[in-house]
Structure 1
Amino acid sequence: MNRESMLDRLRTRTEPWDIIVIGGGATGAGIAVDAATRDFDVLLVEREDFGKATSSRSTKLVHGGVRYLEQGNVSLVMDALKERGLLRQNAPHLVHDLAFVVPNYSWWEAPFYGIGMKVYDLLAGKYGFGKSRILSREETLERLPNIQTDGLRGGVMYYDGQFDDSRLLIHLIMTAAEYGATVVNYAEVTEILKGVDGFVDRVNILDRESGERFTAHGKVIVNATGIFTDEVRRLCEPEIEGMVAPSQGIHLVFERSFLRGEAAIMVPHTSDGRVMFAIPWHDHTVVGTTDTPIDGPSYDPLPFEQEIEFVLETASRYLSRPPTRSDILSVYTGIRPLVKAGSATSKTSALSRDHTIHVDHSGLLTIVGGKWTTYRHMAEDCVDHAITLGGLPDSECRTHHLQIHGYDDEIDGLSNMGVYGSDAAAITLLAQEYPELAKPLHPALPYIGAEVVWAVRHEMARTIDDVLARRIRAIFLNSRATLEMAPSVAALMAQELGRDVSWVNAQLADFRAMAASYLPESAVVQQ
């Protein structure tokens, strides 16, 4: 997957694209895969890097959504459970099942949550990951050695899915490219223009690396920009009413020792109305999340001090070794593109996680909302709408059983190299051919130089941030260690990209400024 060859296609294209997708997150990538596999000519452009905003900052779960079941949204849960099963089937190197335990401290919790999880099992049907069951106190402690024991009666265990979000995203982008889609990061849509009939038919694009400008014509233009949905819609209708109610959520990352055992913890009720998870991920412990309404979108949002305190306080109730602020290795913040409710509400946890498809008066097709787990169904729905809107040839969706790039059902997906799937062998060979690339980039993290080289050559990584945040997950796991290894990564990238020392210095300055948002001291007080 080579960026320059993608730009060449953009330069030389004279015919309209069938579908132009604005946005390179989970939704946009899914649409590109769906449309390309239906043999449509597809162009996907992303202003920053693929997954820079929301799609790389999830709770790392592929799940039906136990909380939505409690809210009575059975259809959303059933759809998500089906998609969860399809995703594990189509990307087994990136998606695996994980046991969750709901610890019980009151007599009523075992029957209440036990029945609820049995309903969850039934809704999953043939796509189930395993049967839930009630655990004794001893069984709960066996699975969660670090759980708070005072008052513990037992637990309820159920199964859901876990994944590496940005690795899946990159493999979706690569899948789209393999099926003929043209995909370009750092390509900003600066204008959406209308034809004589008043409907959108072309976009002006700026290559943010070179400054080169392009005009691309499209039969259908899709806005799949998540938290930036309203900003893009206003490119063609400036006075349009907004659709998105942004909500911020944070996660704290700790050493793996805070959550020994192979199970995750699910706390079904916190004081802000959300569930709280403590999960093992890449040999670390991730705890979150929060749900805080905010005014607008940002690529690098900062955590609120109140959020950090809330997560630490909640975690201390359930972990026998309460984590403190000094134990935080990294804090990451994501913004959810929730669809506004019909009536005003300040409680974003009550807003729908389902997706919405909307066609503006100008003919711009917008999809917003949804969740990572249902990205494939969202894409199918959007492309079906695009076919009708653009008068494109009828074509059935082909992604239900489509193997995603890297598909490997034998590799250990929990290992560091496992997330590359079938690409792991090539990266290992690269490290064997060039021993200096086999050396760890930092003693606190498992990554090696060969992964950096691979990311630049094959995964369209253009900046240090692209590599350290989304090709490997270093900044999410240990922000200080990542800052220490950044110069080595910059040197490797400069060699691959043919950049000079001024590029290295500029990259390091930009990365250090960005990486500060992953440090707990970056937190701001919400007014």
Structure 2
Amino acid sequence: MKRDFKSISSKNYDVIVIGGGIVGSGIARDLTLRGLDTLLLEKEDFGSGTTSRSTRLAHGGLRYMAQLDFGLVRQDLSEREILLRIAPHLVHPLSFLIPIPTTFLNVEMALGTTLYDILSYDKTLPNHKFYGRNKTLEIEPGLKVRNLQGSYLYYDCEIPLTERLNFETALSAHEGGATVVNHARVTNTLREGNRITGVEVKDEITGEVLQAKGKMVVNAAGHWVDIVKRMIFTNKPEYLRRTKGIHIVIPQVSEHALVLFSPIDGRLFFVIPWEGFSLVGTTDTDYTENLDAIFATKADVDYVLEGLHMAYPDVKVDDIYYTYAGLRSLAIKPGKSASNTSRNHELIDHSKRDNIDGLVSILGGKITAYRAVARDAADLVCKKMGVKVPCTTGVKSLPGAPALDKKELDMLAKQSGISIDAVNNLVQIYGSRTSEVLSLTKADPKGGQAISPGGPDIIAQIWHAANSEICRTVGDFMLRRSMVGLRKDQGMDAINIVAREMKNVLGWNSDEETRQIEAYKSVAALGLRFKNP
């Protein structure tokens, strides 16, 4: 996979997709598989926005049952099963425990988990179970919920690396023939009369500005949708309500994922076992500030900790390794609170709403249902273009599938001479494409060296990312091509090695190497911003 910014002005594309998050990448993949010549543009890096700031779940959404949004729950449960099939190396079953301290919650969860099982009638996961108090404490001995009566166990799925799910979706689009470019910011739209005919794009790496022409433009820019809209309409109201969700990363406190309810407002939140840590969140508050520098405040963290203390009262603010924050992009529904605003997606056909041809916008949607959102958007685009090709994204696996089993993992470790921990880390990231990274260690044994002391990541991953995964910044690698920046010190012990190796591959000078290090430090600092309100 090569980055070729200059090529975007060389043809008239069938479709230009603005936004390389999970939805935009999904749309590009879907359209490409239907035979449309597609250009995918991302202003930063694939998944650098909301996709990488989620709770990392593929789930129906138990809390949407209380809102009686059964259609949304059913859709997402169905999409969960599809993700298990097309990306088994990235999506895994996960058991959830709901501690029960009151009779009312017992009745509510008995009904809720039963209906959840019914709505997921085609699932491959087990049905729910009820455990009494003793059994609950046997499987979660650290739980300190007052007046604990028992618990409900049910199943959903985790996506530990949503960043890789996003990247592989973009990679699949590229392998199908799409032109895929990151660090390519759309700065304006091209227009002929009442028709959008393309976009003006700035290369954020070189500063070069080019025009890309297309028969259709899809605005899938996530919480930047309104920014793109303003390039076309100067007097239209905002499409989106943006709400912030934050997570804290702490030492692992539970074996199972937990569902808890905030004592402040009753909102459901999760405690998720994640890469040896616990990921705790999330919040849901309206947001109107900087769209490119989102962070958890002290108030956000205090809210999460107060809820967590219902089950784990000994966790302190000093136990937090770091936080992250992202924005939900919700279609505006007047009179609704942040938490009660629908997570359903909406499509805008601007030829009907605004008498502007050649433009479609996507609002809302959840990561779990990204493929279905992309399918609906691609269906609309194809209908407008007279293309009658069905969607195949539900049956075509992503590039890293299938998952490797333990026997294959052990064989790779033996053949490569790399530690089993390092190979397991590679398999978790690359799936069946792990051999592409290991081949680099055979050509140069230096590639098998650890990036940081005691860590499982190896130098060959840096080479592979820079050469084959259009990784162009230290942040791209640390946060979205690997897990280095997701570890407890946010990769600070690895940053100099990563920058050095990327410098060697990409031909940076010393000034650029220093700039890249400082840029990553600034991003990582947002994760600790709550300590300095």
Q: TM-score band, normalised by the shorter chain? A: over 0.9
Give me the whole-angstrom Cα distance separating, in 2, the residues matched to 1:338 and 1:270.
Answer: 25
Aligned to 1:408: 402
> 1:382: Cα distance to partner?
0.4
- Residue 2 of structure 2 is aligned to residue 2 of structure 1: yes
Give me the whole-angstrom Cα distance separating, in 2, the residues matched to 1:392 and 1:264.
Answer: 46
- Residue 344 of structure 2 is aligned to residue 354 of structure 1: yes
Aligned to 2:293: 300
Give me the whole-angstrom Cα distance separating, in 2, the residues matched to 1:511 and 1:264.
Answer: 31
Within 5 Å, which residues of 2 pair with 1:291-440? 291-296=284-289, 298-319=291-312, 322-341=314-333, 343-345=334-336, 347-360=337-350, 361=354, 362-363=356-357, 364-389=359-384, 391-411=385-405, 415-417=424-426, 418-440=428-450
Aligned to 2:221: 225
- Give a deviation string over 1:212-266, Cα, whole Å, max 9, x none: 222111111000001001110110112211011111111000122x22x2x1101
Give me the whole-angstrom Cα distance separating, in 1, the residues matched to 2:339 and 2:43.
Answer: 29
Give me the whole-angstrom Cα distance separating, in 1, the residues matched to 2:236 and 2:87.
Answer: 39
Structure 2 SS opposite 1:229: helix
Give me the whole-angstrom Cα distance separating, in 2, the residues matched to 1:379 and 1:268.
Answer: 32
Structure 2 SS opposite 1:424: helix
Give me the whole-angstrom Cα distance separating, in 1, the residues matched to 2:454 and 2:323.
Answer: 17
Structure 2 SS opposite 1:286: strand
Judged with a 3 Å threshold, the aligned counterparts in structure 2 of structure 1 residues 318 and 482 are, in CA distance, closer, same or farther, namely same
- Give a deviation string over 1:420-461, Cα, whole Å, max 9, x none: 111112223323543333233234643222222221122111
Structure 2 SS opposite 1:372: coil
Give me the whole-angstrom Cα distance separating, in 2, the residues matched to 1:463 and 1:137.
Answer: 50
Judged with a 3 Å threshold, the aligned counterparts in structure 2 of structure 1 residues 272 and 492 are, in CA distance, closer, same or farther, namely farther
Q: Which moved more, 1:439-448 or 1:102-111?
A: 439-448
Give me the whole-angstrom Cα distance separating, in 1, the residues matched to 2:174 and 2:145.
Answer: 51
Q: Match for 2:32 among 19, 25, 36? A: 36
Give me the identity figure in percent: 32
Judged with a 3 Å threshold, the aligned counterparts in structure 2 of structure 1 residues 154 and 273 are, in CA distance, closer, same or farther, namely closer
Q: TM-score, normalised by structure 1?
A: 0.93
Within 5 Å, which residues of 2 pair with 1:73-112? 73-112=69-108
- Residue 514 of structure 2 is aligned to residue 474 of structure 1: no
Q: Which moved more, 1:308-317 or 1:77-86?
A: 308-317
Structure 1 SS opposite 2:310: helix
Residues matched between the structures, number: 511
The residue type paired with residue 384 of structure 1 is D
Aligned to 1:464: 474
Give me the whole-angstrom Cα distance separating, in 2, the residues matched to 1:149 and 1:21.
Answer: 48
> 1:297: Cα distance to partner?
5.0
> 1:70: Cα distance to partner?
1.1
Judged with a 3 Å threshold, the aligned counterparts in structure 2 of structure 1 residues 52 and 65 are, in CA distance, closer, same or farther, namely same
Q: TM-score, normalised by structure 2?
A: 0.92
Within 5 Å, which residues of 2 pair with 1:172-251? 172-196=169-193, 198-251=194-247
- Residue 149 of structure 2 is aligned to residue 159 of structure 1: no
Give me the whole-angstrom Cα distance separating, in 1, the residues matched to 2:499 and 2:513.
Answer: 6
Q: Match for 1:502 among 478, 498, 511? A: 511
Q: What is the RMSD computed on CA atoms of the aligned residues?
A: 1.8
The residue type paired with residue 32 of structure 2 is A
Unaligned runs of 5+ in 1: none
Judged with a 3 Å threshold, the aligned counterparts in structure 2 of structure 1 residues 136 and 520 are, in CA distance, closer, same or farther, namely farther
Aligned to 2:412: none
Give me the whole-angstrom Cα distance separating, in 1, the residues matched to 2:54 and 2:295.
Answer: 15
- Give a deviation string over 1:18-37, Cα, whole Å, max 9, x none: 11100000110000010000
Judged with a 3 Å threshold, the aligned counterparts in structure 2 of structure 1 residues 476 and 121 are, in CA distance, closer, same or farther, namely same
Q: Match for 1:290 among 283, 288, 307? A: 283
Aligned to 2:20: 24
Structure 2 SS opposite 1:56: helix
Give me the whole-angstrom Cα distance separating, in 2, the residues matched to 1:407 and 1:287.
Answer: 29
- Give a deviation string over 1:446-479, Cα, whole Å, max 9, x none: 322222222112211110111111112333332x
> 1:115: Cα distance to partner?
2.2
